[in-house]
Chain A
Amino acid sequence: MAYIQGRNVNLTFRPPNRNPVKALSNFDIDVEEGEFLSIVGPSGCGKSTFLNAILGLLRIDSGDLLMSSKPILGPGTDRAMVFQEFGLLPWRTVQDNVALGLELKGVPAETRRNVCRGLIDMVGLTGFEGHYPHELSGGMKQRVGLARALATDPDVLLMDEPFAALDAQTRDIMQAELLRIWQKARKTVLFVTHQIEEAIYLSDRVMVMTKRPGRAKRMFAIGLPRPRDYEMRVTPEFNELKLQIWNELKDEITV
């Protein structure tokens, strides 16, 4: 039994005053514990929706979505998400933002402070604990987001295009940082992205989704050794994978 398992998952959005939209259709997936899995797919294919379903913010209409053999029914401290638009509370300092999950869990203040300090150091933001989000750059904000997600020590880390709002250079740095941090913590990571290169660079496996309504199209195993470094991005193996994935993906893209 896979750690996270989806079978025949169906999910339809029903926005008020608008027509319902089917986001996921007979979606299957198996995620192994401790693996780094990326999901790529065209815009609107449902990949973020799937992530939200695992997070517990969205309910699936039919099918099974299981984690450790138990159905996912709502949010929980075993899963945490890093959001594309950062989602930091602007009226709270960095420290208080990182502590959010712990605060909601009821962890006492002293423990919160210690855990947060450790995490803030780990993501490289020492000295910025008392700053407010508007004083931070995009990359720094996302580091806060990452620290916050790790604070509750979740088993699964969900990342919804976390670097899409950053410029290319910051993005590259953040990718390396993410791998560095992940090596230490070794959580199961589900990473959604548009960028094939990013997916290959970071992951153990890459899944390609069809266009909406989304379905699993094909899974690619990434055989590149770890720890990954930047030079791997220019090797022939890397490019071969990139081409293969692109070939799967391009049929799904409609303009």
Chain B
Amino acid sequence: MSESQALETQLAAPATDDLAPPPKSLWQRFEQVILGTTSIVLLLIVWELLPRLITMGAGTKLFFTTPSQIGGTLWKMFATGTVWTPLGVSASGFAVGLAFAIVVGLPLGVLIGRSRTLNAMFDPFITAFNATPRLVFLPLVLLWFGLGLWSKVVIVFIGALFPILINTYEGVRNSDKLLINVVRSFGAKEWDVARLVVIPNAMPYIIAGLRLAIGRAVLGVVVAEFFGSESGLGVMMVQAAGRYQVDIVFSGLIIFAVMTLAMTAAVQVLENRLSRWRPQRAGGE
């Protein structure tokens, strides 16, 4: 497995502090916030006013929805409480699948990272499955697990497993041999080595993998629900699409997006808590 596999997966889902430009002055930060907010607001305004500004064919009109409509629908969904059941179903599929992925991926990643033999043996499978879009297994999974929670869980699991596995593996393999020797010389057994050196060293990688896995897990839920579920947000969206209820589709999309962002932020908080020993990158040092 080439080293770039883990790192390039990080590149696709930018950890904002990795790709951020060097520390900014107060004015630059201010500028950044203003420009960012302005562009979003501008976009929303233009979108909102579009139907009034241009004339659309009947077909397009059927499909067109505005931010205010979407907002209204979202509000209604939460106010009437109709959103909670499907959200709960989707969220549980997400959570269970992700949990399995962590439970399998972390220890396996550690084992594969520590053993060159295991690494060589697992590599072809990991490379093949990682390159292949998980979706290709969906019909098979549906065949085996039927509609319902379990096929959803399996799809989420397959999607989330690989970033976690690969990044854990990379983090473990990246262990400083010197430190391993150091703790061994003070009497550390294999488990101590893992606890004292390997795992703390691998933490940043594991967190990055977790971040990626979250995105993939959400994708997995959406896709699984489109094709193989009876309930859930994704099902709601697909049915709405069929009925030309575009505002519901976008509402669902927004909910999923918020879910992803919220979880990613939570992971970021976790990472910051665990990274106090690292040299800070903030400007002014």
Contacts and interface: CB of A to CB of B under 8 A. Distances in A.
A196 to B, nearest CB: 26
A177 interface: no
B192 to A, nearest CB: 6
Contacts of A83: 178, 182
B188 interface: yes
Interface in A85-119: 85, 87, 89-92, 100-101, 104-105
Given A89-B197, A92-B277, A132-B277, A100 B183 contact: yes
Contacts of B182: 81, 83, 87, 89
Interface in B152-189: 178-179, 181-188
Interface in B234-285: 276-279
B184 A101 contact: no
Contacts of A81: 182, 185
A85 B197 CA distance: 16
Interface residues of A, number: 26
B71 interface: no
Contacts of B276: 132
B24 interface: no
B179 A87 contact: yes
B284 to A, nearest CB: 16
A76 interface: yes
Contact of A101 (B187, B278, B279): B187
Contacts of B116: 16
- Interface SS of chain B: helix, strand, loop or mixed? helix
Contact of B178 (A16, A87, A91, A132): A87
Contact of A89 (B179, B187, B278, B279): B179
B187 A90 contact: no
Nearest to A135: B279
B178 A104 contact: no
B200 interface: yes
9 contacts: A52-B181, A56-B185, A83-B182, A85-B178, A101-B186, A104-B183, A104-B188, A105-B187, A152-B186
Interface of A: 16, 52, 55-57, 75-77, 80-81, 83, 85, 87, 89-92, 100-101, 104-105, 132-134, 148, 152
Given A87-B179, A89-B183, A152-B186, 19 more contacts: A16-B116, A56-B185, A57-B185, A75-B184, A75-B186, A77-B186, A81-B185, A83-B182, A87-B181, A90-B277, A91-B200, A92-B277, A100-B183, A101-B187, A104-B187, A104-B188, A104-B192, A132-B276, A134-B279
